[in-house]
A = this chain, B = another copy of it.
Amino acid sequence: MHVAKPLPSYLVQRYQGWRATAYSENRAWYKRLATEGQRPRAMIISCCDSRVHVTSIFGADQGEFFIHRNIANLVPPHSPDGLQHGTSATIEYAVTALKVAHIVVLGHSSCGGVKGCHDMCSGKAPELEQDSSFVGRWMDLLRGGYEKVQSLPEAEQVLALEHQAVLTSLDNLMTFPFVKDAVESGALSLHGLWHDIGEGSLFEYNAEHDRFSVI
């Protein structure tokens, strides 16, 4: 026996709507996806934030994107220590098993995780420093980023740290040997994006000029 309740009826209704329309119109395609397996072209690493709707933004259809979502779209560095690394597992699977051609790291504005990291690193959130804080320990990944932005004017720091979350992930991705090999052989490319929720705009990291510029 496991603790669980029936699905709330508003979700049941919506599911039935989906089944009667989108599924029903594409039944053959779904059956093929089920039989032949997935063959996604890209992996997206984005935040869990309910306002970041990667499938909408990229007009995604079933079968197109392998999507990992965590707090603040962070990738930890390669660390083959035999412990559990959920994010590293998604990257390994995407690159070595699915052989995706692109990995897109998608950051966003007013990210609660990044804000928490900024509060923690600037001494405003001591509770996040505790061992028992999973959010705090996860945001440790961005401490190096904080060091890079702390000399900026206060008002610019959080946005800069949101950019750092994307850049940290890009850098950590390259510490995975299978990622580095695939990038160097041209089989895989990495992309860093930052999304402004209110403006609906998208900025991409431009390696040549080392800054984010609007698309």
- Which residues of A are at the interface with B, using a C-beta cutoff of 8 A? 1-43, 48-51, 53, 55-71, 74, 76, 80-94, 97, 99, 101-102, 104, 109-110, 112-113, 131-135, 137-141, 167, 170-171, 174, 182-183, 186-193, 196-202, 204-207, 210, 215
Residues in B with CB closer than 8 Å to A215 are 7, 12, 15
**Measured between alpha carbons, how far is A186 from B27 in the docked complex, in Å?**
7
How far does the Cβ of A55 sit from chain B's closest Cβ, in whole Å? 5
Q: How many copies does the complex hold?
A: 4
Indicate if the CB atoms of A84 and B89 lie closer than 8 Å.
no
**Measured between alpha carbons, how far is A88 from B133 in the docked complex, in Å?**
9
Q: Which residue of B lies closest to A5 (CB)?
A: B189
**Measured between alpha carbons, how far is A93 from B128 in the docked complex, in Å?**
11
**Measured between alpha carbons, how far is A88 from B200 in the docked complex, in Å?**
30
Indicate if the CB atoms of A80 and B132 lie closer than 8 Å.
yes
Indicate if the CB atoms of A200 and B23 lie closer than 8 Å.
yes
Residues in B with CB closer than 8 Å to A201 are 19
How far does the Cβ of A36 sit from chain B's closest Cβ, in whole Å? 7
Residues in B with CB closer than 8 Å to A19 are 200-202
Residues in B with CB closer than 8 Å to A51 are 30, 33-34, 38, 62-63
Residues in B with CB closer than 8 Å to A66 are 48-50
Indicate if the CB atoms of A189 and B28 lie closer than 8 Å.
yes
A55, A56, A131 pick with most chain B CB within 10 angstroms: A56
Task: Select one of B14, B69, B102, B189 contacting A68, CB under 8 A.
Answer: B69
Indicate if the CB atoms of B82 and A137 lie closer than 8 Å.
yes
Q: What are 11 A-B interface contacts by the 8 Å CB criterion?
A: A2-B205, A8-B189, A17-B21, A18-B59, A18-B200, A23-B200, A29-B41, A48-B93, A70-B70, A84-B137, A93-B135
**Measured between alpha carbons, how far is A101 from B9 in the docked complex, in Å?**
13
Indicate if the CB atoms of A70 and B89 lie closer than 8 Å.
yes
4 A-B pairs with least C-beta separation: A17-B17, A34-B198, A20-B20, A23-B200
